[in-house]
A and B are shown apart, each in its own frame.
Chain A
Amino acid sequence: MTVQPLLDVKNLTVSLPAAGGRQHGIVRDISFNILPGEAYGLVGESGSGKSVTSLAVIGLLKKPLRTSAGQIVFKGTDLRTLSSRAMRRLRGDRVAMIFQEPMTALNPLATVGRQIAEMFVLHQGKTWKEAHELAVGALASVRVPAPEQRVHAYPHQMSGGMRQRVMIAIALACNPDLLIADEPTTALDVTVQAEVLKLIQELCTARGTAVLLISHDLGVIANMCQRVGVMYAGKIVEERDTYELFSDPWHDYTKGLLGALPRLGSRQRHGRSRLVDIDSIIDDRSRLTERLCFEPRKLRAGAEVRP
């Protein structure tokens, strides 16, 4: 028996209306699925559509962006058919999200304890008193030192790494089935980044939470995910097992992306060469064969799709 995917995104298109009634496809006809407990990564550069994909999944696209085609099947239900009220109940409870910048994602006027407790009150019908005690436990689970005291702290009193831990505590408070993490450690120092990634990995493995990780950092994706989708100009151009992707990339764009990265140890092994310039691959149209073909870079902001 095959395992039913937890999230099955089919032919998703997100479009932006343009002048003259045309539609620009920001995300164009992409499909991917995530199994229960699996960590799936979407990697790509700015403007590739990876964050828009994650916002479409959790139903937080801002107008004028809208999901114009496709299905987002989560545990057998197409999320596009849900009312905004039902979606709100699901969000934070079954599907939760961590954002890049913890200072802007947290409410500066409420204590972190209150912001965690809110999850238990809204989704599990607890009283504030019970919820507050659960919040202490949630803070302890993300390894914030002295959780009894820190629940009374405001976000500005915490460091970037601690705030991101609070975000994780809020996201995982109700034991969601799927955690969406959009560049969760981009704003952090490397050693703090390593700690936060390890924390996400350990907690999600222990609770069986599936992860959709969005990142521009191939290293982060490599360390966290079992499978990876590489996004370019609104499409997934290659989807592979992580190990295979990094050891033997197929698509020219993936090869370009890996070659553009100054990789630790490569100068010692192979000497210093110039890094791969992806644009020069793209401009050199004559070299492109059918399989290697990907669209010119100016398409990154959205190519036209039929409405």
Chain B
Amino acid sequence: MSEPLLDIDQLHVHFTLGGGLLGGRRRTLRAVNGVSLELHQGQCLSIVGESGCGKSTTALSVMGLQPPTSGDIRFRGKTLIGAGAPDRTDRALIAQMVFQDPYASLNPRQTVYSSLAGPLRLHGKRSRSEIDERVAMMLGHVGLLPEHAKRYPHEFSGGQRQRIGIARALILDPQIVVLDEPVSALDVSIRAQIINLLLDLQEKLSLSYIMISHDLGVVEHMSDRVAVMYYGQIVEIGDWRSIFSTPTHPYTRKLISTIPDPDAILREGIAETLPEVHPPAGMRFYPEDVSMPDVYAEPPPSELVQIGADHQVRCRPAG
């Protein structure tokens, strides 16, 4: 395979809690605990998991908004961490983010035009006509009209605001777009429109997405590869087809079987239709019990074991 666009290598993000002025026992919360991921050009890589599993922290580290405790993130082979890292201006051209809540993520005092033109000016575009043209083109890409540029966020519906959020993320032609729960705040019909838009834009502009989501229906629909995270670790990763046709780790299976899915009633519950799986010989899944993790303890050694062409699952030696 070609060189990855983005290479996350053994990323750790730990937070120290307590022990400050207010006292309390000093503890280390291992939010991200040795995550390695590769994103290839033109792909959509999804990270799924529940609140607190570390998926958003991983995304923030990619964006440079959360410095890692250890590990490396490389873009086309060049590190984004530490002394050799690019400055903020250069970094803005590498990755941009679309946020979950289109009501909170747009500045209510800025017109759409100034939200979109600001980054262009900061990146050296001086000519008014060039900026105008680029803003109008981007609004067209996301399905809005040029005259919408003069309006303020409150004049738009939730779906339109999310379109503005997408336009803002794309205005600088970033190499990677991080989508943090891009549709979870939207109504079913609006969600469908935004998902279609994201897929159209991916084809048209050959974008590479990292999508954070807890909605497995959306993830299956949009992704090329899927990483399932559970308390700071990837427990299963693979191409979308392997993850959804033969989910193997107990946590992935739990997630898939607990989604309330309208089709489930038409075939008497999904859980029974999942194919039976066994851990690789001499191994057992880690963690096996997916109900009560200890987020403070250092987890015992475990590894991602290859079980298919592009399908790995976290295991540790049996016994």
Contacts and interface: CB of A to CB of B under 8 A. Distances in A.
Given A194-B260, A275-B192, A277-B196, A264 B244 contact: yes
Interface string A256-285: 111111111111100010111111000000
A217 interface: yes
A277 B189 contact: yes
A194 B256 CA distance: 11
Residue among A265, A267, A268 with max Cβ neighbours from chain B (10 Å): A265
Residue among A190, A194, A216, A247 with max Cβ neighbours from chain B (10 Å): A190
B132 to A, nearest CB: 28
Contacts of B200: 274
A46 B191 CA distance: 12
A294 B154 CA distance: 28
Give the interface residue-count category, chain B: 35 or more
Contacts of A223: 260-261, 264-265
A268 B245 contact: yes
B220 A279 contact: no
Interface in B265-291: 265-266, 270
13 contacts: A189-B51, A190-B50, A194-B258, A216-B187, A217-B260, A262-B218, A263-B262, A264-B244, A264-B261, A265-B220, A265-B244, A267-B220, A275-B221
A193 B264 CA distance: 16
Contacts of A279: 189, 193
B262 A219 contact: yes
A268 B188 CA distance: 21
Contacts of A194: 258, 260
Interface in B217-266: 217-218, 220-222, 240-241, 244-245, 254-256, 258-266
Nearest to B256: A264
* Residues of B contacting A: mostly: helix
Contact of A219 (B189, B221, B255, B264): B264
A277 B260 contact: no
A218 B265 CA distance: 11
A260 B189 contact: yes
B199 interface: yes
B195 interface: yes
Interface of A: 45-46, 189-194, 197, 216-224, 242-243, 246-247, 256-268, 272, 274-279
B188 A191 contact: no
Residue among A221, A246, A258, A262 with max Cβ neighbours from chain B (10 Å): A262
A62 to B, nearest CB: 22
B260 A220 contact: yes
Contacts of A274: 196, 199-200
Contact of B255 (A191, A260, A262, A277): A191
A262 B195 contact: yes
B216 interface: yes
* Residues of A contacting B: mostly: helix
Nearest to A219: B260
A171 to B, nearest CB: 20
A298 to B, nearest CB: 11
Contact of A243 (B196, B254, B266): B266
B158 to A, nearest CB: 8
B220 A191 contact: no
Contacts of A268: 220, 241, 244-245
A193 B50 CA distance: 11
B258 to A, nearest CB: 4
Interface string B13-49: 0000000000000000000000000000000000000
Nearest to A282: B189
Contact of B263 (A190, A216, A221, A265): A265
A261 B189 CA distance: 8
A193 B258 contact: yes
